[in-house]
Amino acid sequence: MTPSPADEAAAPADAAGAFRAHLGALALLTLLFFLNFLARIIQAPLLPAIEQELAISHAQAGSLFFFLAAGYFLSLLGSGFVSARIGHRRTMILSAALTGIALGATAAAGSLAVLRLGQFLVGAASGLYLPSAIATITAVVPRRHWGKAIAIHEVAPNAAFVLAPVLAEALLSVVPWQGVLAVLGAGSLLGGAVFLACGRAGAFAGEAPSFGPLRDLARSRNYWVLVILFGLGIGGSMGLYTMLPLFLVSGHGFERVWANGLIAFSRLPGVAAAFGSGWLTDRFGAGRTIAFVLLGNGLLTVGLGLCPAAWVPGLVAIQPALAVCFFPAGFAAIALASPPAARNIAVSLVTPLGFLLGAGALPSLIGAVSEAVSFSAGFAAAGVLIAAGAFLPRRLRFR
């Protein structure tokens, strides 16, 4: 039977209404993700103060993010066992509560060793959240709206990127850096309580990893390609962000307040860019969007390392807007390459290694190169690696 003009006109309206029905759940998940992500990046704008107080080197400062990434890596690997036991909703609430406690413990750090342990615990606590969140979003939102739904969720890290330097400077004017961590710990506990009272999404169990899926993933070309892509995507966004304050303060002599203000301003366009990436992913596909983002981001990062000092503020303002566009396409690629029942497993097995590479190894590499050569050389080397990843999406095979 041929649909009538009225039926054809009603179809887009029905689709839009189906998407709007999930906006409340997406808003609560975005709040949790914002607090989760803020806990992992707040150390970046605090790093100049931490480095000065504890008298540590650039390489030691960069290593802090490797310890955070190591905790995040292990937690993501085990998140499937937790969500299979207590369900996705309770797993996300547990993550918020444990992240708040870990931040409070880190606030008591008075040495590099204790700070590294605190970073590890923050990473381990926050790592439980993301696989359950992606599994929840792709379960409740129709597939044709995944790009837009994930883009809304990705507003959280982009907003955190903007607010972290502003919040850090505002609190540093009245409390030491340890006090900043304590305040964020309280905020994470409050966010978990809000979701416990108001959130209903995710009230189903995940699938625990087993030897069979692990073996199949390890043999899959898709898995290793996605790991490398996520390593480069995370490195181009979070990895560079964590070292930018030191790059500007120690590498170019900027004042810390001015540097953090510039970094906060540079992340504002990223909030809108994440929405645009969601629509681009739905329109052109995940693979093409990923390739474009990595190539452009890599070239901008090379320019950031090699350009004259007068150009640095302009490139710092441009680069993040493109970097954040990776994630809606990246998570859509994981979902498209995985069977529906095992999407949380795919996320929990792709993102750990990706995070360890991009948010742990890359900042450590930049810190080591800055000690041996210069900060500029470190950023240029990171840019070459990111741009090279543009050739990998063609190796993916989607279901």
Q: List the structure tokens of 193.
A: 């309580």
**Number of domains present in the structure of the chain:** 1
Per-residue pLDDT of the chain (399 residues; tens, 9 = 90+): 444 444 444 444 455 556 677 677 888 899 999 999 999 999 888 988 888 888 887 778 878 888 998 998 888 888 888 988 888 889 999 999 999 999 999 988 778 888 999 999 999 999 999 888 888 888 888 777 777 788 788 788 878 888 898 999 999 989 998 999 999 999 999 999 998 888 777 778 777 766 666 677 677 787 888 999 999 999 998 889 888 888 888 878 888 888 888 888 888 876 677 667 777 777 888 888 899 999 999 999 999 888 888 888 889 888 888 888 888 888 888 888 766 666 667 776 787 788 889 988 898 888 888 888 888 888 999 999 999 999 998 887 766
14 is a domain residue: no
26 is a domain residue: yes
345 is a domain residue: yes
303 is a domain residue: yes
Is the sign of the CA dihedral 353, 356, 359, 363 positive or negative? negative
**Rounded CA separation 358/352 (Å):** 10
Residue 267 has phi, psi (to 5 degrees) of -90, -10
17 is a domain residue: no
Residue 2 has phi, psi (to 5 degrees) of -75, 130
Read off the CATH number of the domain in which 233 is found.
Answer: 1.20.1250.20
CB neighbours of 192 closer than 8 A, spacing ≥ 6?
32, 93, 94, 95, 96, 97, 100
**Rounded CA separation 69/356 (Å):** 5
End-to-end CA distance of the chain: 30
Q: Is the pTM of this model over 0.85?
A: no
216 is a domain residue: yes
347 is a domain residue: yes
CB neighbours of 115 closer than 8 A, spacing ≥ 6?
50, 54, 64, 106, 109
Strands (E) located in 65-111: none
Nearest alpha-carbon partner for 161 in 244, 268, 62: 268
190 is a domain residue: yes
What is the residue range of 78's domain? 22-395
